[in-house]
């Protein structure tokens, strides 16, 4: 066992002495030492139940012959940080969580892990740490929140953000806003639609890192504790039987399965960023074109933000195993090994049998009768995004938008303009200098997008940013534009009034402006020290997952690419092979820009 390095032989008597001080006896020290890592915090509902789940997981570990070693790491709650400077901490927290799991588990030579996670960045961070350490690991999501009720309908945190826009538009008064606010979040659990947390929880099941069906169980469901106990037992059993470790599970096939599930549920565009990061940590080839190819998968799950149901309502009708069953029936996913020791298809059958879903359920449709024939996102390129960007398609029928740019150098400036009713139908709202380096931290823009929807502009404007969108975002929204403005990307050259076109048919994000004839915009220095400055120095492009482990030398700044360097028509077809992007100007990132 790995833990023998700290507990066997005379030389390690000091380590054993310290372990004894924690209450462990000879037998407990001799058993496999299994990490129980959680992201408990009482600052939000998302991770509120994880400390209790850790005790259930620990009991399962003891039952199976192991010794649990519990510790926790941080969480940054997007729903609270959204629209503030605190949101800059969100994406960097993913890296810090993965780092802290790696350091604590490696630092104590632990043998296996049960990772308990509960919100947007804690879930991918758990998968990234699992891939790095490659020891027997089971990941369990703490579960979705129950939906609230207001005026006879189910509501989520998405409705609160959109209510802010309605309030600004004068269609909702102070009492009405407070009523929505008070009803939306009734207790523990992560945001209730197919937003980032529930999307990534589903991804873990399709990757094979979580037992199929267990992540679906809502946070306050009485069965959640038993699920945690099972995960504790499974971690020990996997260790003792020599079962599959994360890198044996994570493969290009597993990643494609997960990407197709995201498309089929119109899930969060953040899944692209996180799947790229997980693939990077696992050393698995997977890029934006793989994600785009998966977008051919039709939308078959009727889930918020674009659909009718919350995650808890999907669970009541049978859970994400229903999605898996339909994708398997259509030949859109392939069998893979999983953490259970069985195959994905066997796990799907077991989950379906355990839930016995009603044949009359209407949350998930067959692939041959989808809600939408095209997936919930598309990958675009062009002279505004030579390295790519992602367009969210859920919740609207548009495939093209062209209009004058309204350019803002921060989320706050844009939000102020939206609240002042300064955005007009037809506009293309551009928020730049909010990428991984420029933010720094690549903030989500839910406050802006929800306000636009709340004001009735969701179907009439487009929004483009080198930042990110919340999984609760709906509307014609393009994010993750790369290269970002802060490293000399084309968005830095845009001006108000430039005509910008988003076209899914040609897979392009383009402008008619003479970008190469201009000097790029710059911004005042935002961060000079601390963790955000370190993140800005280390982080790579959003087109490669915005990880910090790749190192800054992998990034180059790209100025406006001429029309001849746009993606060819052949390359724009779904499933196209890897492209080699040609950039007319490539230079190392200026240290002053990084410090910003």
**CA–CA dist 550, 162 (Å, integer):** 37
Helix residue spans in 67-215 (DSSP H) = 78-81, 90-107, 122-133, 157-169, 174-183, 196-207
Q: Please report the pLDDT score of residue 471 as a whole number.
A: 58
Q: Which of 265, 282, 291 is nearest to 199 (CA)?
A: 265
* From 470, 510, 541, 543, active-site residue: 470
**CA–CA dist 347, 171 (Å, integer):** 48
**CA–CA dist 220, 490 (Å, integer):** 47
**CA–CA dist 349, 361 (Å, integer):** 17
Phi-psi sector, 442: left (phi>0), alpha (psi -120 to 50), beta: left
The average confidence (pLDDT) of the chain is 89
Residue 480 C-beta-side C-alpha neighbours within 13 Å: 30
What are the CA-CA distances from residue 479 to residues 454, 463, 465, 528 (Å)? 20, 8, 5, 26
**CA–CA dist 351, 347 (Å, integer):** 6
**CA–CA dist 426, 446 (Å, integer):** 20
What single DSSP character describes residue 87?
A: G
Identify any residues that bridge with 300 across adjacent strands, giving them in sequence order.
none
Pairing label, strands 388-392, 377-380: antiparallel
**CA–CA dist 342, 337 (Å, integer):** 6
- pTM, rounded to two decimals: 0.90
**CA–CA dist 239, 245 (Å, integer):** 9
Residue 84 C-beta-side C-alpha neighbours within 13 Å: 10
In the three-class reduction of DSSP (H, G, I as helix; E, B as strand; rest coil), residue 301 is classed as strand
Establish whether 470 is a catalytic residue. yes
Tens of pLDDT along the chain (596 residues) come to 999 999 999 999 999 999 999 999 999 999 999 999 999 999 999 999 999 999 999 999 999 999 999 999 999 998 898 878 899 999 999 999 999 999 999 999 999 999 999 999 999 999 999 999 999 999 999 999 999 999 988 899 889 988 887 888 889 999 999 999 999 999 999 999 999 999 999 999 999 999 999 999 999 999 999 999 999 999 999 999 999 999 999 999 999 999 999 999 999 889 999 999 999 999 999 999 999 999 999 999 999 988 999 999 999 999 999 999 999 999 999 999 999 999 999 999 999 999 988 889 999 999 999 999 988 789 999 999 999 999 987 554 678 999 999 999 999 999 999 989 999 999 999 999 999 999 999 998 877 887 887 888 888 999 999 999 875 566 788 999 999 999 999 999 999 999 999 999 999 999 999 999 999 999 988 999 999 999 999 999 999 999 998 644 443 333 333 333 333 333 333 333 333 333 332 233 333 333 33
CB atoms within 10 A of CB 103: 12
CB atoms within 10 A of CB 437: 32
Q: Which of 508, 520, 502, 421 is nearest to 463 (CA)?
A: 502
Q: Which of 386, 255, 411 is nearest to 333 (CA)?
A: 255
422 contacts 446 by C-beta, under 8 angstroms: no
90 contacts 443 by C-beta, under 8 angstroms: yes
CB atoms within 10 A of CB 505: 9
Identify any residues that bridge with 428 across adjacent strands, giving them in sequence order.
405, 462
Pairing label, strands 476-482, 462-465: parallel
What single DSSP character describes residue 292?
A: H
**CA–CA dist 16, 355 (Å, integer):** 45
**Contacts from 174-182 at CB under 8 Å and sequence distance 24+?**
179/150, 180/150, 180/155
Instruction: Pull the structure tokens for residue 42.
Output: 């009482």
């Amino acid at each position: 066992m790995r833990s023998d390095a700290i507990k066997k032989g005379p030389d390690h008597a000091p380590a054993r002495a310290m372990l004894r001080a924690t209450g462990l006896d000879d037998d407990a020290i001799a058993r496999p030492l299994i990490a129980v890592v959680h992201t408990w915090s009482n600052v939000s509902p998302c991770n509120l139940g994880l400390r209790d789940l850790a005790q259930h997981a620990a009991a399962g570990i003891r039952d199976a012959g192991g010794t649990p070693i519990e510790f926790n790491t941080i969480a940054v709650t997007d729903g609270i940080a959204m629209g503030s400077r605190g949101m800059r901490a969100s994406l960097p927290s993913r890296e810090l969580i993965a780092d802290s799991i790696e350091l604590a588990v490696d630092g104590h030579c632990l043998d296996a892990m049960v990772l308990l996670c509960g919100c947007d960045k804690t879930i991918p961070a758990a998968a990234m740490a699992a891939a790095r350490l490659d020891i027997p690991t089971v990941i369990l999501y703490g579960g979705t929140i129950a939906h609230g009720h207001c005026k006879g309908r189910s509501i989520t945190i998405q409705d609160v953000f959109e209510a802010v826009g309605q309030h600004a538009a004068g269609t909702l008064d102070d009492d009405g806003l407070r009523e929505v606010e008070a009803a939306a979040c009734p207790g523990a659990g992560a945001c209730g639609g197919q937003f980032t947390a529930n999307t990534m929880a589903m991804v873990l099941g399709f990757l094979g890192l979580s037992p199929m069906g267990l992540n679906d169980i809502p946070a306050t469901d009485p069965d959640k504790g038993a699920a945690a106990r099972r995960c504790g037992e499974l971690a020990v059993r996997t260790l003792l039987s020599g079962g599959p470790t994360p890198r044996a599970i994570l493969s290009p096939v597993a990643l494609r399965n997960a990407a197709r599930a995201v498309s089929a549920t119109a899930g969060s565009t953040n899944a692209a960023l996180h799947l790229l990061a997980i693939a990077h940590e696992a050393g698995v080839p997977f890029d934006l074109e793989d994600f785009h190819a998966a977008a051919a998968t039709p939308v078959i799950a009727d889930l918020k933000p674009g659909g009718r149901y919350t995650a808890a309502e999907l669970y009541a009708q049978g859970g994400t195993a229903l999605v898996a069953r339909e994708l398997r029936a259509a030949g859109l996913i392939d069998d893979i090994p999983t953490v259970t020791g069985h195959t994905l298809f066997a796990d799907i059958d077991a989950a379906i049998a355990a839930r016995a879903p009603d044949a009359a359920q209407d949350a998930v449709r067959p692939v041959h009768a989808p809600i939408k024939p095209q997936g919930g996102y598309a990958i675009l390129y062009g002279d505004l995004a030579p390295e790519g960007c992602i367009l969210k398609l859920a919740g609207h029928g548009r495939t093209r938008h062209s209009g004058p740019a309204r350019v803002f150098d921060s989320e706050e400036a844009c939000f102020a303009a939206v609240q002042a009713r300064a955005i007009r139908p037809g506009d293309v709202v551009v928020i730049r200098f909010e990428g991984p380096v420029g933010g720094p931290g690549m903030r989500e823009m839910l406050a802006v997008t929800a306000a636009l929807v709340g004001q009735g502009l969701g179907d009439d404007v487009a929004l483009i940013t080198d930042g990110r969108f919340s999984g609760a975002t709906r509307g014609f929204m393009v994010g993750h534009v790369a290269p970002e403005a802060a490293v000399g990307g084309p968005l830095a050259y845009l001006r108000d009034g430039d005509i910008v076109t988003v076209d899914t048919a040609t897979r392009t994000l383009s402008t008619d402006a003479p970008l190469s004839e201009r000097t790029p915009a710059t911004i005042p220095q935002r961060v000079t020290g601390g963790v955000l400055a370190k993140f800005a120095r280390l982080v790579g492009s959003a087109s490669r997952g915005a990880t910090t482990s790749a190192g800054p030398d992998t990034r180059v700044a790209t100025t406006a690419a001429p029309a001849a360097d746009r993606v060819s028509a052949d390359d724009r077809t779904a499933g196209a092979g890897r492209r080699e992007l040609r950039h007319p100007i490539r230079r190392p990132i200026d240290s002053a820009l990084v410090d910003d």
